[in-house]
Amino acid sequence: MDYNWNWGIFWDSAPGESSSYLYWLITGTSWTLATTLVAFTLAFLIGGVIGTLRTSTLRPLVWLGNLYTEVFRNIPLLVQMFICFFVVPELLPVSLGDYLKQDLPYPSFFSAVLALTLFTSAKLSELFKAGIESVAVGQRGAALALGLRPSQMYLEVLLPQAIRVVFPPLTSEALNTLKNSSVALTIGLMELTAQARNVSEYSFNTFEAFTAATLIYVVISLLLTFVMGHIERSLAVRGATR
């Protein structure tokens, strides 16, 4: 392909601003990282709770956990983004809805985090459920026989072992959350993909803009994989020494 790459475009000033196109990509990367980290952290916590409910002996809790999982896992993420950003404020009391639409700082960020959290936590609940069920059934009975309350049984016996079991697929879900954060451009969050599109539209250097964004995503993914792998090895070592 006869194409003259122009990487110097990133040091040019963006139209109407004193900042450069590179600064746009840096800003977009920061929003991508913030959205991913906050959403995945919340999804991890909520997914653990929902997954635990689905292994309870109380049928209403199981039904509640299953309902949550099936609803938020099967609604497309894009639809959930639109619902959180456009629909939810209209369903709330007028004063609260107006605050979310007009006064809340960075409403697209909070809507994106909410949608990503709901979507990802539903998927993580499946992992936690499978992890808890993989623990030997006898350990549950032994914990209860020792006088542990159900909450103690989960926190001290089942969940610590389940987390070690589900940690490898958690890495994949963390990477999925990173990639899914790009959907937030549809509700106005200026994350990495949105900023790459802006660079493309204003500079007409489409190949450079999206190649740079691709490389940034790859670097973040590699770093995330490294960190998660290190945590996984740490958990395995601690588990082996007990």
Model pLDDT for residues 145-161, shown as the tens digit of each residue? 777 777 778 887 788 88
Of 87 and 9, the one with more pLDDT: 87
Lowest mean pLDDT among 3-17, 71-85, 136-150, 216-230: 136-150
Structural domain contains residue 45: yes
3-state secondary structure of 75: coil
Please tell me the pTM assigned to this model.
0.89
Given phi > 0 = left and psi -120 to 50 = alpha, else beta, which region is 106?
left
For residue 86, pLDDT over 80 is answered with yes
CATH number at residue 78: 1.10.3720.10
Output the six-digit token pair for 83.
Answer: 């619902």
Are 1 and 138 in contact by the 8 Å Cβ rule? The answer is no
Q: Supply the pLDDT for residue 100.
A: 84
For the chain, percent of residues with pLDDT exceeding 70: 96
For residue 79, pLDDT over 80 is answered with yes
Structural domain contains residue 43: yes
Q: How far apart are CA 185 and CA 171, in angstroms?
A: 24
Structural domain contains residue 9: no
3-state secondary structure of 20: strand
Q: Which range of residues forms the domain containing residue 137? A: 31-189
For residue 128, pLDDT over 70 is answered with yes
The mean of the pLDDT values for the chain is 88
Encode pLDDT of 191-204 as tens digits.
999 999 999 999 88
Structural domain contains residue 72: yes
Structural domain contains residue 224: no
Total domains present in the chain: 1
Q: How far apart are CA 51 and CA 16, in angstroms?
A: 50
Dmax (CA) for the chain in angstroms is 74
Q: What is the mean pLDDT of residues 216-239?
A: 85
Structural domain contains residue 240: no
Q: What is the mean pLDDT of residues 89-104?
A: 85
Phi, psi dihedral angles at 190 (to 5 degrees): -85, 65
Structural domain contains residue 54: yes
Output the six-digit token pair for 72.
Answer: 């938020």
Structural domain contains residue 2: no
Q: Supply the pLDDT for residue 151.
A: 76
| Alpha helix positions (H), the chain | 21-53, 59-74, 77-82, 88-91, 94-98, 107-134, 137-145, 150-153, 159-180, 192-203, 206-241
